[in-house]
Amino acid sequence: MDLKPILDELFAMTFHAGIKPGLERIADLCASLHNPHLRYPVIHVAGTNGKGSTCSMLASILTHAGYKTGLYTSPHIRSFNERIRIDGRMISDEDVVRKARPLMDRAKSMGGTFFEVTTAMAFQHFADHRVDIAVIETGLGGRLDATNICQPFLSVITQIDIDHTEYLGSTLVQIAGEKAGIMKEGAPAVIGHRDSLGSLRSVFERKAETMHTSVTFAEDTIFVEVDAIHPDLTMTMSVVNDDDLRYYTTDMCGQHQAHNVATVIASLPAIRQVYFIEEQHVRDGLQRVKATSGLYGRCDLLSTNPFVVLDVSHNPGGVAALCEALIASGRDLHSMQVVFGAMADKDVGAMLNAIAPLAHTIHLCAPMIERSLPVEELSSLAIVHGILNTIAHSSVAHACRAAISQGPTVVCGSFHVADEAFLVC
């Protein structure tokens, strides 16, 4: 079975149908499959930053507890199949081909989208393989995201930031309202967003009241202190839960990942109402998130000699968290070669400002995708922001080779930059 023509046709739907928030089309697609999303328990996760990592941590813990665990995330880095995994194993090419064709045909007849087809495919795959539980990440927003036809027993919302303003609104309150749209009747919600001013709490509290359910704010119940970020980019933490102090090691690193760990720990009481999870399952799951769930591209150490790190951070908060993590691991200010490219619809200036403290030189590039910011515009934007230690390159590959030849390197800015960088790093 030839996967490429199917994927070419599927990806083409992105350009023909674009992004269309709404649940009518996905509901029709899933009805044609006899509603596979209703055949297994679901944890539904939304947020701006950290939702993919949080999903992967939850899935890793559940897998270590012995449960067959489906994991649906987006976007992918190298292979479309990364989006749909069971216990870390990607969906097979054969399953993609077999499931995609009838779904695409039906979706095209109603103006359906790439993400709707992919979501229906994931739901069907998990049902076909009789998973014990599925961890589902929203694509964009929450309220009108295609994944929101699921009926979770637990909703989780991670850190919120300004992003996708054309769809979600221009303020944090508006965006929080869209994310809160995943909260369901009677299903408890855990909020991982850290809100020192309390400006968004009422958004989630009002939604919980409307849904007749409880809401837990992770920052109220769990305190995670990073004890050390090691040169191999693993991390040790102290976790305080009420009066209980425990120590954990994880293959994720950074204060932002510590916040994600707090969200995961805060979610365990609700999960334990349905599943048996021992403390050792939590320890093993957090220690081996990447190997168990199949996650990569999160502060990944690709090489120690030369030192090369790759990260898919693609908004200001994510890039700032990456910079902070690398400095905490022992990297000096202004010591690294940075390969950077971004999509034109992102807050690219703020991302450049976030990575500048780490950079000796920023190697600017544009991945080969229509939505990317041309390197000439990227160079001009850097100058506007007073960032002059830049070199423009004709491709991601050229930027990576030049950077690595000059010293320790970090690649960031976009999933698409990461995809092309993997070919040469």
State whether 84 and 195 are in the same domain. yes
Per the listing, tokens 């970090």 go with 410
- From the CB of residue 24, how many other CB atoms can be counted at a distance below 10 Å? 12
State whether 115 and 192 are in the same domain. yes
pLDDT value for 66? 98
Give the Cα separation of 46 and 155 in Å (integer): 8
Closest CA to 126 of 214, 30, 213: 30
The string of pLDDT tens digits covering residues 323-366 is 999 999 999 999 999 999 999 989 999 999 999 999 999 999 99
**3-state class (DSSP) for residue 176:** helix
What percent of the chain is modeled with pLDDT above 70?
A: 97
State whether 118 and 45 are in the same domain. yes
Reported confidence tier of residue 196, pLDDT bands at 50, 70, 90: low
State whether 374 and 279 are in the same domain. no
In the predicted structure, residue 215 carries a pLDDT above the cut 80: yes
State whether 63 and 209 are in the same domain. yes
Reported confidence tier of residue 317, pLDDT bands at 50, 70, 90: confident
State whether 307 and 235 are in the same domain. no
Output the domain CATH number for residue 30. 3.40.1190.10
User: For the chain, what is the domain count?
Assistant: 2
- From the CB of residue 405, how many other CB atoms can be counted at a distance below 10 Å? 10
The answer to whether residues 52 and 130 touch, using CB atoms and an 8 Å cutoff, is no
pLDDT value for 197? 65
Among 250, 269, 293, residue at a domain's last position: 293
| Summary mean pLDDT of the chain | 94
Highest mean pLDDT among 158-167, 187-196, 287-296: 287-296
Angle, CA 216 vertex, CA 213 and CA 218 arms, to 5°: 160
In the predicted structure, residue 125 carries a pLDDT above the cut 60: yes
The string of pLDDT tens digits covering residues 393-414 is 999 999 999 999 999 999 999 9
Closest CA to 181 of 46, 58, 24: 46
Summarize the confidence of residues 387-396 as an average pLDDT.
97
pLDDT value for 243? 83
The string of pLDDT tens digits covering residues 15-42 is 655 678 889 999 999 999 999 999 999 9
Give the Cα separation of 164 and 173 in Å (integer): 14
Output the domain CATH number for residue 333. 3.90.190.20
State whether 71 and 203 are in the same domain. yes
Closest CA to 146 of 330, 23, 325, 321: 23
Domain of residue 400 covers 300-421
Among 278, 293, 308, residue at a domain's last position: 293
Residues across the chain: 425
